[in-house]
Amino acid sequence: MERESFKPNIESEPREQPESARRLRFEKEKPAIESAPVYRALERKKEKDILEEFTPEQQVEIKQKQQILSSLAYFIGKDFKIPVELNDPGAGWHWDFQKNVIRIDPRDLLEKPMDYLRFVISHEGGHRRISRADFIPPDEWRQPGFSFMMNAIEDPRDNNFVAESYPKFREQMSLAYQQDLDFEAKVKQKAGQKLGYQPRFIQAGFEYIKQWFREAEGKDFKLSEDLHEEVRRTVQATLASANDSWLRYPSRQEADNGGKIRGKKVDGEAMIKEYAKTSYEINRDEVWPEFKKLIDADMEDQKMQELLKDMQKGQERQEEGGESGGGQGLPQELKDKLTPEEQRALQEAIEQAIDNAKKEQEEARAGGKEAGEAEEAVEPVEGMPFGEAIDLKTLPEELKQKIKEYIESLPEDQQKEIAEKAQAAFKEFEDALNEELQGKLSDNPEKKAERGEKEGQEQENAGQASVSAGERVTTGQVQKSPAKILGERVFSEKLAEIEREENAYEKYRREVLPLIDQLEAELRQIFVDRRVTSWKGGFKGGKRIDIKKRIQEKAKDVPVMESHAWQRRERPQEKDYAISLLVDVSGSMYWDDKSKEALKSIIVLGEVLNRLGVNVEILGFNDDMKEYQTYGEDMSKGVRDRIGEIINDAASKRCNMCRMDHNASDIGWATEVAAERLAKQKAAQKFLITLSDYQFEESPKHPADKYELGETIKKILEKTDAHLIGLGIGRGTEQVETYYPNSITNVRAKEMAGKLAGLIKKVIANYDKF
């Protein structure tokens, strides 16, 4: 789905607003997000506990600065109900989207200059104003490195909005940017300690922030000289898109008052959310494919580190048992691949890591701490996991390559175990990094469930301190009334019944989820590769100027304020698609798992096409037509529930004696109806894909002489611009080729989902050849 350009009312916006930040695609108006009530007794008690960690004089200073910063947060965030609460000392600053709370670090209030504090609170208020992430699929967010990439680009986007809307904010940016550089240095130190190498993805994320700051100062982009070559290539390939993404923010007027989109009035929240969604889509489609390559390379390093950790543990056990070192921790299969010099280099690296771990424990004991708590001695980034790792940069490249080859030679179960350990360590480090990255997108989808469970537990704990209506007080545990017990029992029984009758859609969706994710990634890449960036002129403002046109204007004495020589970056709209999926749910489809596999196939295509924003309709037919999803309808729970009835719909038409459909599957009539609906869609490319076992039987409702399939298809091809594709399920479906210009026949039921996925990929990739 391509992003369209949005042209705001330029005359109504502040003059200093850059035109390049005003581009936006809107699908339709979304409901506004309502702020939830916040202050509770539990929060006030927590703040009191935090203050008790400081002296009375420090408490007074903290409260005074908290009050000053609260006023600024209200002003920037445009929310006079949002509380500014104290975070745990050293836990940083962030805006919690779900609870609508800005949390500030009391330690910073005492140690940092007031200009820095104003910058950070303005930044957090900006997140409250324009940052939205609740629409990001959790599976997408959980990919290693994805959330860090989003955060690294979201912070500049937020800064741009606040600096443009509140120019005073710009005066503190240099000071706060220096704090970011200090934070980067600490992160790199901690990465060396925890991981044993500098992750490429972290370097790329901080490089985006550095280049944003150069742009904010009016300088050209210039990549840091010390970048890893892979990181340099990735940033070079994605910087234009990252820049495009952090310029996708609303004006202050748009955020406050909304505006008109295609002639339709929308409120400020709807506009804010669509800008955020557009920024996210740029990150997902244009930055992430390249950024992920760095993640994959880092993951290979982490697998190597996990193997070396196992060797290190083996060496430690040998030493504890009184044996000498000498390389006994190395697997014999690996030793056979290494030269004596490489064995020695690897052994020395392992021994150095063991020595460092012992020193850490000794320093911990000397400081009165338990082992594993010595990280404070090396001035860590708060919240980061700690542990000594083998320094990979001390190992020769040929040695590291042999270790990787050794991992690839291991049995599949061992490779899987190493990969799981690597991903867990990698994710732990990234989570700690995101927690520390100031101004993060705190309402990431992955943590919603965790917050819900935590809040539910807090409410349960708070409820135990009082007696609810309908309960009676006893000298022991609070007992529930008979009515309440009965109600809970009925609820539990109902819940169990629901779980037993799980909708078929969700049941089979879990089975085909890998195919869904793979197909989505492949189709999305096709869309991304097809896009071409171009520049369009004739604007009063923009990112660059058309010199030739401006010279012509000057010759005509056109003043600069009236110049139309500015250019904006435009992307041509993607070829529109309208796809109709017509699935046979007659009685004959019930047998031999045909309806079950058809359901899986429809789930795969329905999920993928809806994720990509392709206009799709899903219809089922026997002697009647059933609408599972209509054009323009979101893939809601109701739609999924209807699709989940495909098996039951076929079962309702079966004959248990002869296994045929005596109500007839009138495919000619159904094809004509589906084609008529498809013809009404405004799309450049229209496809009607039919899934059936093609067991024909004349219908009393729709006689064959009126709806003969061959004549029906011929008429559709002559009178409409639709492309018709037939998928013949089961043996004996060769006749499909005689009806459809494009077809796949004799598809076994269990092959159906894969065949249909390949078909839709061909349709999207070769739309101009149909």
Q: Cα dist. 667→145, 459, 519, 583 in Å?
A: 48, 56, 28, 10
Residue 264, beta-bridge partner list: 261
Q: Two tokens at 76? A: 């920037």
Q: Cα dist. 151→439, 477, 714 in Å?
A: 8, 47, 54
DSSP assignment of 195-252? TSS--HHHHHHHHHHHHHHHHHTTPPP---TT--HHHHHHHHHHHHHHHHHHT----H
- Contact at 8 Å (CB) between 144 and 296? no
Q: Is position 42 within any domain? A: no
Q: How far, in Å, CA of 47 to CA of 229, rounded?
A: 47
User: How many structural domains is the chain composed of?
Assistant: 3
- The more confident residue out of 583 and 535 is 583
Residue 625, beta-bridge partner list: 621
- Whether the per-residue pLDDT at 561 is higher than 90: the answer is no
pLDDT in tens, 141-194: 888 889 889 989 998 999 888 888 777 777 777 766 666 666 677 777 777 777
Q: How many helices and strands, by DSSP H and E, does the chain display?
A: 27, 16
Q: Two tokens at 244? A: 């495009």
Q: How far, in Å, CA of 190 to CA of 194, rounded?
A: 6
Segment 228-257 mean pLDDT: 91
Query: Do 205 and 268 belong to one domain?
Result: yes
Query: Do 549 and 610 belong to one domain?
Result: no
Whether this model's pTM surpasses 0.75: no
Q: Under DSSP, is residue 438 helix (H, G, I), strand (E, B) or coil?
A: coil
- Whether the per-residue pLDDT at 371 is higher than 80: the answer is no
At residue 470, the pLDDT reads 35
Name the one residue in this structure whose structure tokens are 């298809």: 713
Quick one: DSSP state of residue 37?
A: P
**Beta 577-584 vs 615-621: how paired, if at all?**
parallel
Q: Two tokens at 276? A: 């955020």
Last residue of a domain, one of 570, 597, 627: 570
Q: Two tokens at 35? A: 């702020």
Which uninterrupted H or E stretch holds 275?
A: helix 268-282
- Whether the per-residue pLDDT at 706 is higher than 90: the answer is no
pLDDT cut 70: percent of the chain above it = 70
Segment 619-636 mean pLDDT: 91
Q: How far, in Å, CA of 175 to CA of 213, rounded?
A: 12
Query: Do 625 and 544 belong to one domain?
Result: no
Query: What angle in degrees, to the nearest 10, is found between the helix axes of 41-51 and 56-77?
Result: 130
- Whether the per-residue pLDDT at 233 is higher than 90: the answer is yes
Q: How far, in Å, CA of 383 to CA of 190, rounded?
A: 11
Q: Which range has highest mean pLDDT (95-99, 358-362, 492-496, 507-511)?
A: 507-511
- For 678, left (φ over 0), alpha (ψ -120 to 50), or beta? alpha
Q: Is position 279 within any domain? A: yes
- Contact at 8 Å (CB) between 609 and 692? no
Q: How far, in Å, CA of 32 to CA of 30, rounded?
A: 6
Which uninterrupted H or E stretch holds 583?
A: strand 577-584
Length reported for the chain: 770
Q: Two tokens at 94? A: 């962030």
- Contact at 8 Å (CB) between 604 and 512? yes
Q: Under DSSP, is residue 280 helix (H, G, I), strand (E, B) or coil?
A: helix
- The more confident residue out of 422 and 690 is 690
Q: How far, in Å, CA of 94 to CA of 99, rounded?
A: 12
- The more confident residue out of 15 and 223 is 223
Q: Confidence band (pLDDT; 50, 70, 90) for 242?
A: very high
- Whether the per-residue pLDDT at 458 is higher than 50: the answer is no
At residue 41, the pLDDT reads 46
- Whether the per-residue pLDDT at 357 is higher than 70: the answer is no
Q: Under DSSP, is residue 549 helix (H, G, I), strand (E, B) or coil?
A: helix
Q: How far, in Å, CA of 148 to CA of 241, rounded?
A: 16
Q: Under DSSP, is residue 655 helix (H, G, I), strand (E, B) or coil?
A: coil
At residue 699, the pLDDT reads 73
Query: Do 707 and 758 belong to one domain?
Result: yes
Query: Do 544 and 591 belong to one domain?
Result: no
How many of the other CB atoms lie within 10 Å of CB of 152? 26
Quick one: DSSP state of residue 19?
A: G
pLDDT cut 90: percent of the chain above it = 17
- Contact at 8 Å (CB) between 269 and 40? no
Query: Do 189 and 277 belong to one domain?
Result: yes
Quick one: DSSP state of residue 95?
A: E
Query: Do 347 and 388 belong to one domain?
Result: yes
Task: State how far Cα 245 lies from the chain centre.
Answer: 15
Last residue of a domain, one of 392, 422, 447: 447
Q: Is position 167 within any domain? A: yes
- Contact at 8 Å (CB) between 680 and 601? no
- Say which amino acid occupies 257: N
Which of 379-393, 576-590, 626-640 is the least confident region? 379-393
Query: Do 590 and 558 belong to one domain?
Result: no
Report CA torsion sign: 345, 347, 352, 357: positive
CATH of the domain at 728: 3.40.50.410
HSE-up of 306 (CA within 13 Å, CB side)?
21
At residue 222, the pLDDT reads 92
Query: Do 551 and 586 belong to one domain?
Result: no
Report CA torsion sign: 73, 74, 78, 80: positive
- Whether the per-residue pLDDT at 592 is higher than 70: the answer is yes
- The more confident residue out of 69 and 131 is 131
Segment 237-243 mean pLDDT: 93
Task: State how far Cα 524 lies from the chain centre.
Answer: 14
- Whether the per-residue pLDDT at 378 is higher than 50: the answer is no
How many of the other CB atoms lie within 10 Å of CB of 616? 23
Last residue of a domain, one of 447, 468, 497: 447
Segment 352-378 mean pLDDT: 57
Biggest alpha carbon distance in the chain? 95
Segment 663-670 mean pLDDT: 75
Nearest to 31 by CA among 642, 634, 612: 634
- Contact at 8 Å (CB) between 102 and 95? yes
Query: Do 361 and 406 belong to one domain?
Result: yes
Q: Is position 54 within any domain? A: no
- Whether the per-residue pLDDT at 16 is higher than 90: the answer is no
At residue 56, the pLDDT reads 87
How many of the other CB atoms lie within 10 Å of CB of 510? 9
Q: Is position 210 within any domain? A: yes
Q: Is position 408 within any domain? A: yes
Q: Confidence band (pLDDT; 50, 70, 90) for 546?
A: confident
- For 395, left (φ over 0), alpha (ψ -120 to 50), or beta? beta
Query: Do 652 and 558 belong to one domain?
Result: no
Q: Is position 48 within any domain? A: no
At residue 72, the pLDDT reads 74
Q: How far, in Å, CA of 569 to CA of 5, rounded?
A: 9
Range of the domain at 541: 534-570
Q: Is position 162 within any domain? A: yes
- Contact at 8 Å (CB) between 653 and 586? yes
Query: Do 563 and 582 belong to one domain?
Result: no
- Say which amino acid occupies 92: G
